[in-house]
Amino acid sequence: MATFSGSAGVVKAGGNAIGEIRSFTVDQTGDTVEDTAMGDSSRSFKATLNTFTASIDALFDENDTAQIAMTIGTELAFLFQPEGSGSGAYQLSGSGIVTGISQTQSFDGLVERSFTVQGTGALTIGTV
């Protein structure tokens, strides 16, 4: 069974790797609609639409091209690469709209930024 080290992960936004990544999450969901009819003895459902959301946590870098491009309302192409960006590596790809930016800082820590993304269209599973 293959496993990956979390530290190898890469996220690209608009073709540029996001610098100073700390973590990222990609959530995929699928909607259903009930198609139960009178006389049925059990409820039944049909699959309908799929969607994805993502969150990306990074150390703030005001000179990072990808972080600068990620502004509220901006739609970008995203690549989520959990095992890195080498040839043949597993990746998720899709377009998404930046829907949230959160900045956190404390007197004894580094400035951190979190980005939330709403996918638009399909999330494709493939390789680099």
Q: What pLDDT, in 10s, does the model give residues 30-84? A: 999 999 999 999 999 999 999 999 999 999 999 999 999 999 999 999 999 999 8
pLDDT of residue 6: 82
Share of the chain above pLDDT 70, in %: 99
3-state secondary structure of 5: coil
Handedness of CA 58, 111, 16, 87 (dihedral sign): negative
Instruction: With 0.95 as the threshold, say if the pTM is over it.
Output: no
Q: What is the pLDDT of residue 30?
A: 96
- Residue 66 has a CB neighbour count (10 Å cut-off) of 23
Listed residue (27, 49, 47, 32) closest to 96, CA to CA: 27
Dihedral sign (CA 69, 70, 74, 75): positive
Tell me the helices (H) and strands (E) count for the chain, helix number first. 1, 7
Q: Return the amino acid letter for 10.
A: V
- pLDDT tens-place string over residues 94-120: 999 999 999 999 999 999 999 999 999
pLDDT at 3 over 90: no
Per-residue confidence (pLDDT) for residue 71, from 0 to 100: 97
Backbone angles phi, psi at 122, to 5 degrees: -80, 150
CA distances from 106 to 12, 22, 23, 73, 109 (A): 27, 17, 19, 27, 5
